[in-house]
A = this chain, B = another copy of it.
Amino acid sequence: MTTVGILGASGYAGAELLRLLARHPQLQVAWASGESSVGQAVAERYPGLAAAFPSLAFCSQDEGLDKGADVLFTALPHGRSATLADRMAAAAGLVVDLAADFRLHDPAAWTAWYGGAHPAPGQLGAWPYGLPELHRDQLPGARRVAVPGCYPTAALLALAPLLRAGLVEPGGIVIDAKSGVSGAGRSPADPSLFSQADENVSPYAAGSHRHTPEIEQELASIAGRPVAVTFVPHLVPMTRGILATCYARLAGGATSEDSRACYQAAYEPEPFVDVLAPGRWPRTRAVATTNRVHVAAVTDRRTGRAVAAAAIDNLVKGAAGQAVQCANLALGLVETAGLDLVPPGP
């Protein structure tokens, strides 16, 4: 078995890693750190994990890094893993980082959106951006992977094929995303309270969300020129799921059939992406708790615009599941190992 250590396992993305790895045929959790939960049983903090991890307790970050493992997953708050880069590389042959620290390739973009100088600017660009559907070739044998943010995962999977095929223009793209509350993590905070989030929909960080430069970096790479998108996330009253509804100007006379054919060509070899039948739209419930992606698009000649939507589970394909998928590819395992999940019907 290949051993796994998890840094920052007490939050939702970390717990989701534990859930997925519990059933992974090759990867086995050796330790899981949680700074605010050191010594606490995993089963106490996540009673649903009791049967899978009856005796695992959270260790400290230092304890974990000292032990090391074949694979290290890090689900620490943004900015933390950049300061640990060398230590992580020493501790494990493969480091898969779920934070934002190594996603951007341009230090100036980091400074503009995250503030301050990047702690390890020399490493920027050296970590593959772990969206296998876009960068599959960079992953086999990789020793470090930067897992994309949840919103970029959904937005890019909806937009990338259409942009690459020239069906839509890179200018004037609007991304209106809707996320469940688990995206805000388990730290108690007023907007995450049930009585604040329930029966409520609201935008936040309109035009200023830190996932914007990731999306722009990847779209620019496809378009071959700078791209600026209008990205507005919204909080909706559900626990899991992201729906990204994307609006782009049609580049030519593309039809809805063209956009669907474009998706089918792009995603036919992809094990986790489903192109929906004509007339169907992605529903977050249909991908909940799984690593799957549902996409659909239509074109509207009347307004000269394409509407493209993707649904994912923010904690799986938007975080832990994508991390496992990347690890599988990096290690040469079957891409779907541990990820053959079927969502609940209702």
Which A residues lie at the B interface, using CB under 8 A?
12, 15-16, 18-19, 22-23, 44, 46-52, 172, 174, 176, 178, 180-182, 186, 188-190, 192-204, 206-207, 228-230, 232, 234, 236-241, 243, 245, 247, 249, 274, 276-277, 280-290, 292, 294, 298, 300, 302-303, 305, 307, 309, 311, 315, 340, 342-346
Residues of B within 8 A of A283 (CB): 47, 200-202
Q: How far is the CA of A73 from the CA of B281 in the complex (A)?
A: 32
> Which chain B residues border A282 with CB–CB below 8 Å?
202-203
Q: Are A16 and B345 in contact (CB under 8 A)?
A: yes
Give Cα A202 to B284, complex, Å: 7
Task: Report B-chain residues with C-beta under 8 Å of the C-beta of A245.
Answer: 176, 203, 232, 234
Could you tell me the distance in whole angstroms from the C-beta of A271 to the nearest C-beta in chain B? 9
**Interchain CA distance A176-B249 in the complex, whole Å:** 16
Is the CB–CB distance between B201 and A238 below 8 Å?
Answer: yes
Chain B residues, Cβ within 8 Å of A201: 178, 236, 238, 241, 243, 283-284, 311
State whether A203 and B309 are in contact (beta carbons under 8 Å apart), knowing that A193-B186, A236-B178 are contacts in the complex: yes
Instruction: Report the nearest B residue to A305, measured CB to CB.
Output: B230
On whether the beta carbons of A204 and B340 are closer than 8 Å, the reply is no
Q: Within the assembled complex, what's the spacing in Å between the Cα atoms of A19 and B307? A: 31
How many copies of this chain does one complex carry?
Answer: 4
For A202, what are the chain B residues with a Cβ–Cβ distance below 8 Å?
Answer: 243, 281-284, 311
Q: Which residue of B lies closest to A190 (CB)?
A: B188
A48 partner, pick from B186, B188, B305, B345, beta carbons under 8 A? B345
Q: How far is the CB of A246 from chain B (nearest CB, A)?
A: 10
Q: Are A200 and B48 in contact (CB under 8 A)?
A: no
Point out the residues of chain B lying under 8 angstroms from A189, CB to CB.
188
A232 partner residues in chain B, CB cutoff 8 A: 245, 247, 307
Evaluate whether A243 and B203 lie within 8 angstroms (CB atoms) in the complex, with A48-B342, A186-B193 already known: yes
Q: Could you tell me if B345 and A49 are in contact, using CB atoms closer than 8 angstroms? A: yes
What residues of B have a CB within 8 angstroms of the CB of A309 in the complex? 203, 206
A299 nearest in chain B by CB position: B207
Given known contacts A51-B292, A174-B247, A247-B174, is B15 in contact with A240 (CB within 8 Å)?
no
Contact A197 B199 (CB under 8 A): no
Pair B199/A241 contact, Cβ less than 8 Å: yes
CB distance from A310 to the nearest CB of B (A): 11
Q: Which residues of B contact A49 (CB under 8 A)?
A: 342, 345
